[in-house]
A and B are shown apart, each in its own frame.
Chain A
Amino acid sequence: MTNNNLDKIKKELQKTKEDLNDIASYLDDFLTFLPIAVCDISPAGIIIHINKSFEDVSGFGALEIVGEYLTDIFLEKSKINKILNLTRKKEIVKNQEFTLITKDKKGIIVNAFFSARKDKEGNLTGYFLGMIDISSLKEFQYEMETKVEERTKELEKSGKALMNMLEDVEEARGKAEEEKNKTIAVINSLADGLLVFDRENKLLLINPQAENFFNIKTKEIIGNSILELTKFPNLRTLINLLGVEIKGIFRKELTIRENLSIEVSAVPIVIEGEKLGTSVILHEITREKMVERIKTEFVSLAAHQLRTPLSAIKWTLKMLLDGDLGEITEEQRGFLDKTYQSNERMIGLINDLLNITRIEEGRYLYKPTLADFENIVYFVINSYQEEIARKKIVLDFQKPKTRLPRISIDIEKMRLAVQNLLDNAVRYTPPRGRITILLEIVKFHDRNEREIAFSIRDTGVGIPQDQQPRVFTKFFRGANVMRMETEGTGLGLFIAKNIIEAHGGKIWFESEEGKGTTFYFNLPIREEFTEFLKEF
């Protein structure tokens, strides 16, 4: 070899050394930078090289760990050997989870990758092991699993609580069902008929008694709205009474058919101020009506039978008092006069009884004509002038300046109503008392209607508070007036009320015992006679 060639070879060798040094430096930098912990393992399982990341993850320096067994730094020692054997066969084994025991004896979960190194002849020269610290990830996973586990336990607890609640609910439902069955049994066994409507006025319930009243089956009508119920002829009278909106009513009589009368009450079902529906109670009063009819017929018969002789007595006494049957002494006149007055009261009573029976039998026929109401009031006042003067009562009649419109009324009946009110006022007002009659027209702008308003206020004895609800019932007489005045049938206000209401009016009163009473009634101003008649 020439010196020239030798120099060339030396130069090439030097270049190669430099390249190798550069590669070594590059490799060193690369391994230092590599964020994955890498180690080289001998075929015997000894660590022979580690990179910087391995030092960071394990805490071991090369001096401490190189030359040591790989199994020494993992918790799963037998698994490491198995994986190395597997790597020998498969060359690459990925994603194996191990616990790396660090220098400070902590366990770090790592995801490990194994690769077998072989020489040209295929002999195993060692292994590469790459590791990624997934302890944070595992910690997160553990936290998540713990949370999931806790949540699962909570859910299980909630589930148990829910099951308990469900059991409670089931028990409560059972009890409610039992209560419901009891309630239904009670409702079904009620002697009264019962219909229950929901808030949309749809029929929710009808009990057997109500079915019998109307001769109708539940399944035919249940769930129908009140408007739909009008399609059933048997129910029409009831629906007409209740109205489409089901107004609240109390003990309204209804004759369903011959020999079947009921009292209807519609009561709203209200819970915590909210209307949930309406219950309609049907109480049969057929027997009461029959008894009442028999009683009325008896009273009517008795009254008629009594009136004829009383009339005969009246005219006989009249003739005696007038001297048609001869001269009478003053003493005789006194007795006859008292007898005549007693007979008159008897006739009045009989007339009242007859009026009552007519009212109750529906025979209290009205003969409406267009009349001046003011004249009626004047007429009645005039008939009481003598008595008013005798008791020195001041009577004040206040009326509008303009004439009142004529209205359709039964003059005779209306006189009777006003008379009954004035009679009471005069009768129960002490001497030198005051009676004020007020007549006016009131306008109801919301209804675009006008009414004649009548009121009569006295300074009489008044009606005891506890007895006021019975004022318009038959034979009612206040306890205070019973003590002071023996006369009076207790029928006047009952008759007056029926007359006013039959004219489409409304009657009411205000009273304070010892101070006086004011009765009011309003009458609608209706001039259409035929429309008026329909009201009866």
Chain B
Amino acid sequence: MNKNQQRITKEEADKLMAIPGNVRGAVILANLEYAFQRGGEKIVEEIKERLKELTYPFDIEEIKPMEKYPEALSVLIILLIKEIFNLTKEEIFEMGGASIKLSPFIKILTKYFVSIKKCFEQAPKYWEKYFDFGKIEPAEYNEKEGYAILRVIDYKFHPLICIYHRGYFAQIAKIATGKKMIKSREIKCIHRGDPYHEYSISWK
């Protein structure tokens, strides 16, 4: 690990783990698969070790895709992956896209990829399938101009997750549109004082 790199402290972990809300195991598994593919088994072991250090030991091999687990745990694992690999913002963006690529539930989600419009419309349902808190709201869709605006409401864990979500939405847009030029920007952020997160996804 880079000496200059900041390690997640016990206090940060405690603060994070105190935030309520659950997510399906499939999301956590996708992120762990990302770590595994980048660094192999030893990285997974390192994550387990760090969770133990932070006093949140977790038998991650036992995570089931359909089971619900704390979103805080999922975020903590993302932060640990970032910490271990010393990921840049671009790499966190990429990890967000990779969670789509590696999600075991992508198989059942493909029906939403009929078109970007359908993805946009079905986003709330999709959120509900994965999260038991917060919501996602389609704000604007402009097929002609090639963009859509989504809002993520009541979701506040860590600013890095905003980048992760940008990558996530960008990947979905790419799959749904088949376009090569995809832009995913966060135009409003709850961490910056906005009432919600707002993402603009454009394609051409």
Contacts and interface: CB of A to CB of B under 8 A. Distances in A.
Interface of A: 17, 20-21, 24, 27-28, 40, 42-46, 48-49, 61-63, 66-67, 69, 117, 119, 123-126
A19 to B, nearest CB: 9
A24 B25 CA distance: 12
Task: List the 4 closest pairs (A to B, CB-CB), nearest first.
Answer: A44-B178, A66-B101, A21-B64, A17-B66
B70 interface: no
B141 interface: no
Contacts of A126: 110, 113
Interface in B12-53: 33-34, 37-38
Nearest to B98: A63
A21 B98 CA distance: 22
A61 B174 CA distance: 19
A125 B101 contact: no
Contacts of A28: 104
Nearest to A46: B175
B162 interface: no
Given A42-B178, A61-B37, A126-B110, 4 more contacts: A42-B113, A46-B174, A63-B102, A67-B97
Interface in B106-127: 106-107, 110-111, 113-115
A125 B37 contact: no
B111 A63 contact: no
25 contacts: A17-B66, A17-B67, A20-B66, A21-B64, A21-B65, A21-B67, A28-B104, A40-B107, A42-B175, A42-B178, A44-B113, A44-B175, A44-B178, A45-B178, A48-B175, A61-B37, A62-B37, A62-B101, A63-B102, A66-B101, A67-B101, A67-B171, A67-B174, A124-B114, A125-B111
A133 B9 CA distance: 50
A64 B15 CA distance: 35
The range of chain B's interface size is 20 to 34
A34 B34 CA distance: 23
A49 B106 contact: yes
B102 A17 contact: no
A61 B179 CA distance: 22
B74 interface: no
Interface string B59-96: 00000111100000000000000000000000000000
A67 B66 contact: no
A128 to B, nearest CB: 10
B100 interface: yes
Contact of A21 (B66, B107, B110): B66
Nearest to A63: B37
Interface in B170-204: 171, 174-180
A48 B113 contact: yes
B67 A40 contact: no
B56 to A, nearest CB: 23
B160 to A, nearest CB: 19
Contacts of B175: 42, 44, 46, 48, 67
A451 B104 CA distance: 122
A125 B106 CA distance: 12
A404 B119 CA distance: 142
B66 A46 contact: no
Nearest to B177: A44
B102 A69 contact: no
A260 B157 CA distance: 141
Contacts of B37: 61-63
A24 B104 contact: yes
B194 to A, nearest CB: 29
A28 B103 CA distance: 12
B63 to A, nearest CB: 10
Contacts of B104: 24, 28
A86 B61 CA distance: 43
Contacts of B65: 20-21, 24
With a 10 A CB-CB cut-off, give which of A28, A40, A45, A48 has the most chain B CB atoms. Answer: A48
Contacts of A21: 64-67
Specify which of B65, B101, B102, B104 lies most central, judged by the most chain A CB atoms within 10 Å of its CB.
Answer: B101
A46 B180 CA distance: 10
A40 B104 CA distance: 13
A66 B102 contact: yes
Nearest to B34: A63
Contacts of B107: 27, 40, 49
A20 B67 CA distance: 10
A20 B105 CA distance: 11
A354 B44 CA distance: 143
Interface centre among B33, B38, B66 (most CB of A within 10 A): B66
Contacts of B101: 48, 62-63, 66-67
A503 to B, nearest CB: 124
Contacts of B105: 24
Contacts of A49: 106-107, 110
Contacts of B176: 42, 44
A406 to B, nearest CB: 130
Most buried by B among A20, A27, A63, A124: A63
B181 to A, nearest CB: 13
Contacts of A48: 100-101, 106, 110, 113, 175
Nearest to A66: B101
A28 B33 CA distance: 14
A123 B114 contact: yes
Contacts of A63: 34, 37-38, 98, 101-102
A117 B37 CA distance: 29
A129 to B, nearest CB: 13
Contacts of A124: 114
Contacts of B178: 42-46, 69
A61 B177 CA distance: 23
Contacts of B64: 17, 21
A125 B113 contact: yes
A45 B176 CA distance: 9
B114 to A, nearest CB: 5
Nearest to A20: B66
A44 B67 CA distance: 31
A61 B33 CA distance: 11
A119 B66 contact: no
